[in-house]
């Protein structure tokens, strides 16, 4: 039950609403405005109270847990005090660090070798068991840890093998963290990331969180990224009125780890061959045209595919692309892959036999090698199992709502399972391309419909019966806002499949759905969910990122949850 607000007088209380100057009840329109203001105030409170899953917050949980683990190992149950700065090595000094564990951010957590200090050091490019020579960068007193820069490996851990590294910029570039790790160890770590996310961010008791399934790996660990966005900074010197000019081609690449400096990068081995060829071509173009630029810019490199059957005219296709073209041949067709550099251009992707056209600069999953496995997993889990505990087995799911649909990936690839599917996105351009993609895949509007609307208003636009509907969510990194979650609970679809590129905000939102409340119990909705399964997918090998998939079932037939969940 919802707890009573302390401002709400109970039955029999002497408190009463303050009358207006006419001594009458507020008019209906006045009550409506007052209600809206109260609702807006509650909504702002909800947004403030919901954890944001930031890197800093994720790291703080990992450091807290490591401190507790170290204290327990030493038999010290006292809470760790803040260590005075004067007792710590000064910034700029070089020290030896013993790495204890990997954080969920991809950085390592370490303690100073040979020191009795309990200070935690955060540094990149290291694995548990390494002894690292590092440079102290900054002590964060309030946060209780120190940031350090990686210098070199003094003693390598058993799990570390630098022969695995395939990039000459590794340990400098901020893009990858794990090239020295065996891929099985990377997947195991990403499973732990999901476990810790639900432990720290869901606000659920352990008995309501199922065991996390093993992370599904990417078929390609290198050569998988279909999009890169290297950049260059503006010219040095006065920048008023854009009068500064380049005297040579600027450094083009990605950020130097831990610094606001662009690292010049000629090649990126995690990118596809077409994107790597495009990167080389763009660098050559900048060699010729750098004098035209008066400020920094980001360069788009997006793979696009032209597919022809084996009996098609491949010669014409080669001539269509203005830059380098990569040929990929299969038994049935030839894919001609080129690199689009115009943000207003169009890229084409093939996922199994589905084709997707997208604005080249817009979001679309960047690892095509894992997408067929990923979409197949969603297909297998989008329909409730016949013996799902606590659900009404007599009512089949017939309809799909795809919130945050983008250009229609889930709506289109899942449409054959449903009598009706509707994708909703706030961006008109995304909906335009989604409709184009539905036509390209020969799907009628009755089977794959798309609506441009704010996700917070989507349930006002769709009239599917909740008992026969599944909702798939794929929100941005910040997750779902409280308004959307309240509407989702009010609608109460039979099943929810939540896909996320940030498992920490995903865990926060899933906790809301399991508790059946969008604001810590003030407004319980009466609808709750149980978690059927949780699993990670590795869309970005060699990095600390993991994609999460949570499958939820609505609690029906008055099935009770433990009191700890309410």
What is the structure's pLDDT at 91?
A: 95
- Predicted local distance difference test score (pLDDT) of residue 46: 42
Between CA 354 and CA 413 the distance in angstroms is 7
- Cα–Cα distance, 192 to 344 (Å, whole number): 39
pLDDT of residue 48: 47
Residue 474 marked ligand-binding: yes
pLDDT reported for residue 331:
86
Provide the CATH number for the domain formed by 191-220+368-565 in this structure: 3.40.50.150
Q: What local confidence, expressed as pLDDT, does residue 519 receive? A: 58
Start-to-end CA distance of the chain, whole Å, equals 8
Mean pLDDT by 10 residues, the chain (566 residues): 35 36 46 59 47 87 94 70 74 97 98 90 98 97 92 98 98 98 99 98 97 99 98 81 83 95 97 97 95 93 93 54 82 93 94 93 91 97 72 78 94 96 91 96 94 78 92 94 91 96 97 83 70 98 98 78 45
- For residue 350, the cross-strand partners are 355
CB contact at 8 A, 174 and 261: no
SS (H, E, C) 100-151: EEECCCCCEEEEECCCCCCCEEEECCCCCCCEEEEEEEEEECCCCEEEEEEE
Task: Please give the pLDDT value at position 37.
Answer: 64
CA 93 from centre of chain: 36
In angstroms, how far is CA 548 from the centroid of its own chain? 8
Structure confidence at residue 387 (pLDDT): 47
For residue 486, which of 513, 466, 511, 449 has the smallest C-alpha distance? 513
CB 489 within 8 A of CB 518: yes
CB 500 within 8 A of CB 194: no
Q: What is the pLDDT of residue 189?
A: 99
Neighbour order of strands in the sheet with 495-500: 213-216, 529-537, 547-554, 495-500, 469-473, 399-403, 420-425, 449-452
Which pLDDT score is estimated for 372? 97
Q: In what order do the strands lie in the sheet with 231-232?
A: 262-264, 253-255, 231-232, 297-298
Residues involved in catalysis: 501
- Tell me the C-alpha distance between 120 and 230, whole Å: 33
pLDDT score for 31:
54
Which residues are CB-neighbours of 77 under 8 A, at least 6 positions away? Answer: 71
Query: Class of the 55-160 domain?
Result: mainly beta
365 appears as a binding residue in the annotation? yes
pLDDT at site 13: 36
Give the residue extent of every domain in the chain: 55-160, 191-220+368-565, 227-359
Contact 229, 282 (CB under 8 A): no
Cα–Cα separations (whole angstroms), residue 269 to 77, 168, 170, 174, 230: 47, 9, 11, 14, 14
């Amino acid at each position: 039950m919802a707890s009573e607000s302390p401002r709400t007088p109970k039955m029999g209380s002497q408190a009463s609403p303050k009358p207006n100057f006419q001594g009458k009840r507020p008019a209906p329109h006045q009550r409506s405005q007052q209600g809206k203001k109260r609702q807006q105030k509650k909504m702002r409170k909800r947004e403030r109270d919901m954890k944001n899953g930031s890197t800093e917050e994720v790291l703080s949980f990992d450091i807290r847990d490591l401190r507790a683990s170290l204290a327990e190992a030493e038999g010290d149950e006292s809470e760790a005090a803040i260590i005075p700065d004067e007792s710590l090595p000064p910034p700029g000094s070089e020290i030896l660090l013993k790495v204890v564990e990997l954080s969920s951010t991809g950085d390592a957590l370490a303690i100073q070798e040979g020191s009795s200090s309990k200070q935690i050091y955060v540094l990149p490019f290291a694995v548990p068991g390494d002894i690292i020579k590092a440079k102290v960068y900054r002590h964060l007193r309030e946060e209780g840890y120190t940031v350090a820069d990686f210098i070199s490996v003094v003693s390598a851990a058993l799990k570390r093998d630098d022969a695995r590294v395939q990039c000459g910029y590794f340990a400098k570039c901020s893009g990858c963290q794990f090239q020295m790790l065996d891929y099985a160890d990377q997947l195991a770590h990403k499973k732990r990331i999901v476990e810790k996310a639900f432990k720290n961010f869901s606000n659920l008791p352990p008995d309501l969180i199922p065991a996390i399934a093993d992370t599904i790996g990417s078929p390609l660990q290198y050569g998988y990224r279909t999009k890169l966005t290297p950049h260059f900074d503006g010219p040095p010197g006065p920048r008023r009125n854009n009068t500064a000019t380049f005297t040579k081609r600027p450094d083009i690449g990605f950020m130097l780890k831990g610094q606001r400096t662009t690292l010049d990068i000629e090649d990126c081995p995690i990118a596809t061959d077409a994107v790597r060829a495009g990167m080389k071509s763009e660098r050559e173009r900048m060699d010729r045209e750098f004098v035209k630029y008066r400020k920094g810019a980001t360069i788009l490199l997006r793979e696009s595919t032209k597919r022809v059957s084996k009996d098609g005219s491949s010669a014409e296709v080669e001539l269509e692309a203005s830059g380098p073209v990569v040929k990929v041949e299969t038994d049935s067709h030839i894919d001609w892959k080129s690199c689009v550099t115009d943000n207003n251009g169009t890229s084409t992707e093939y996922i199994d036999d589905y084709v997707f056209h997208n604005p080249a600069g817009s979001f679309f999953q960047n690892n095509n090698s894992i997408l067929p496995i990923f979409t197949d997993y969603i297909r297998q889990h989008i329909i409730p199992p016949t013996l799902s505990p606590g659900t009404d087995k007599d009512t089949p799911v017939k309809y799909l709502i795809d919130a945050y649909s983008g250009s229609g990936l889930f709506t289109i690839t899942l449409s054959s399972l449903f009598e009706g599917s509707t994708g909703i996105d706030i961006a008109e351009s995304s909906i335009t391309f989604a409709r184009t993609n539905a036509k390209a895949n020969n799907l009628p509007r009755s089977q794959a419909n798309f609506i441009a609307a704010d996700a917070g208003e989507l349930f006002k636009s769709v009239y599917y019966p909740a008992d026969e509907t599944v909702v798939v969510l794929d929100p941005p990194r910040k997750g779902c806002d409280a308004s959307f979650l309240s509407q989702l609970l009010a609608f109460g679809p039979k099943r929810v499949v939540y896909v996320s590129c940030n498992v920490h905000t995903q865990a926060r939102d899933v906790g809301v759905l399991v508790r059946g409340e969008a604001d810590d119990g003030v407004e319980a909705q009466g609808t709750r969910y149980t978690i059927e399964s949780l699993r990670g997918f590795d869309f970005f090998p060699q990095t600390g990122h993991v994609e999460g998939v949570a499958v939820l079932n609505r609690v029906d037939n008055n099935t009770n949850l433990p009191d700890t969940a309410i």
